[in-house]
Amino acid sequence: MRLNSVVFKIGATILFLQLIILIPFGYIVLQLILNYSINQTETQLVQLSEKYAGEINELEDPENIQLLEHLTEMTNTSAVIVDQDGKIITKANWHDELTNQIVTDDQLQHLHKGETVIEEVSFNGSTYLKVGQPIVKENKNEENASVILFSSFGLISNSIHNIIILVILASLGAIGLAIGFTIFISKKIGGPLIAMEKVAKQIAEKKDFSRKVDYQANDEIGSLATAINHLSQTLERYQTNRNEFFSNITHELKTPLTYVKGYANAVRHEMYQSEEEKQEFLEIIENEADHISNLMDDLTDLSKIEEGKIDLNKEAFNLNMLAEEMMRRSQFRANQKGLKLHVYTPNTPIHLYADKNRMEQIFTNLIENAVRYTEKGEIKIEVTDIGNHIQVKIIDTGIGIKKQDIPFLFERFYRVDKSRSRANGGTGLGLSIVKNLVEMHEGTIDFDSELNKGTTVTLTFPK
Ligand SMILES: Nc1ncnc2c1ncn2[C@@H]1O[C@H](COP(=O)(O)OP(=O)(O)O)[C@@H](O)[C@H]1O
Ligand SMILES: [Mg+2]
């Protein structure tokens, strides 16, 4: 596992949090137990000393001394009886190290007043709790004597020792737990993350879109996996699209270039029968060059639109006037084919806020198509105001389109009848461009057509 891996960071954080809780917690528990033990020992020792002081009434009585010896052994304490000057009269269960000064003058004074004396004392590195208790006098004239009890803190320090060991064990347990948890998380999170990294690298470096992340879960990692798979799919589609696009372009360029080359060759080698035929050959060359130039213009437009590189220069204009102007421009071509052109607009001006040049481009393309694919009859443009929207219909009485072809019309280079389109200067890109431009204006475009009867294209734009 790498030191900078997410999993390692999570593991370290868990461990850190556990220790941060455990160490102060251990310390507090230790202090509580320590205080409790000291208090407990103190209370016990005071009670014991009161008991001894009450029971010993005859200082010189051997039976009393024996009792004291017995009791101190049982309670694991040591005791002395001192006279009123602090001099030792009797010792019970005594250790030599306790021989130092037993009571201070100050403590003696308290004892004489009948008060209990408590003190922590140290001898040779061991700590003891000392409790002094005045012995109850039988009569007033008797001397003031006191019992002094000692209890070692050894027992307390034993339990502290145990607690420290417990805290250390718990810390070790916490570390173990954190490591276990880290391993668990590394399998649960690290595994899929590494798999995703591999797939992403495969995509980026080798352009291999076949590998998928095989991880399904209803969490963030699951949705990341789905997103990566989705991205891979999109890229794959994009690449196929692009490859198709390029091979289409090559194909589209090849035909006119073959014509240009063939006829140029024919003219150069004077393979024509008459001057008239020569002019015909040259005209073909010119038309094919025009075709290539149209193709280039359309391609440039389309790629700019698809890359989102064109901005709309919106302005308010009268759509009625634009429709009439567009119709006028097509008049010549229509007249050549003997077609009638009509424009129907409302009496009041229809104001549209849009990019006028792009609108012209939309209209030109659709009217050109109508003229191109109509042999007899008429072409109508109808502009209507329908509440929030403006509707424009371009209706022809032409060759029509089969129902099953309609969904593909907006695809690049799609043509129902390739040779007819070519013969009329079509590139197959017009409707792709139109659809993009309409959508940029938040409009819609629909085809309704019947074979051999005619086609109606309906455009709607928000006002
Ligand atoms: N008004 C129409 N009537 C019949 N067919 C049409 C009409 N408009 C478009 N089409 C069909 O849709 C195809 C795609 O149109 P378009 O993208 O403008 O390309 P083209 O350059 O061929 O005109 C055309 O080749 C034609 O087959
Ligand atoms: Mg067209």
Look-up of token digits 């280079």? 413
Q: What are the pLDDT digits (tens) for 404-422?
A: 999 999 998 999 988 888 8
pLDDT at 177: 85
Taking 60 as the threshold, does the pLDDT of residue 195 lie above it?
A: yes
**Cα separation of 372 and 389, whole Å?**
29
Taking 80 as the threshold, does the pLDDT of residue 123 lie above it?
A: no
**Atom 21 of ligand 1, residue of closest alpha carbon:** 426
Mean pLDDT computed over every residue of the chain: 88
End-to-end distance of the chain based on CA atoms, in angstroms?
61
Taking 80 as the threshold, does the pLDDT of residue 13 lie above it?
A: yes
pLDDT at 156: 66
Q: What are the pLDDT digits (tens) for 133-175?
A: 998 776 666 678 898 988 887 666 777 788 788 878 887 887 8
Taking 60 as the threshold, does the pLDDT of residue 221 lie above it?
A: yes
Q: Is 76 left (phi over 0), alpha (psi -120 to 50) or beta?
A: left
Token digits of residue 153: 């803190």
pLDDT at 124: 74
Compute the C-alpha angle 217/221/226, nearest 5°: 75
Confidence tier at 194 by pLDDT (50, 70, 90): confident
Q: Tell which one of 302, 401, 406 to mutate to probe ligand 1, the residue whose CB is within 8 A of the most ligand atoms.
A: 401
Mean pLDDT lowest among 153-162, 339-348, 428-437: 153-162
Give how far the C-alpha of residue 51 lies from the chain's centroid of Cα atoms, to the nearest Å.
73
Q: What are the pLDDT digits (tens) for 15-58?
A: 888 888 878 888 888 888 878 878 888 898 899 888 888 877 67
* Ligand 2 centroid, distance to 417 Cα (angstroms): 12
Structural domains of the chain in order of their starting residue, each with its CATH number: 6-160 (3.30.450.20), 220-305 (1.10.287.130), 311-462 (3.30.565.10)
Task: Please indicate whether residue 189 or residue 412 has the higher confidence score (pLDDT).
Answer: 412
Q: Give the Cβ contact number of residue 408 at 10 Å.
A: 12
What residues flank ligand 1, with Cβ below 6 Å?
Answer: 365, 369-370, 373, 396, 398-401, 409, 414-417, 421, 426-431, 455
Mean pLDDT lowest among 97-106, 228-237, 318-327: 97-106
**Cα separation of 58 and 207, whole Å?**
106
Quick one: average pLDDT of 373-394?
Answer: 95
Query: Between the CA of residue 241 and those of 15, 147, 175, 246, what are the distances in Å?
Result: 51, 105, 54, 9
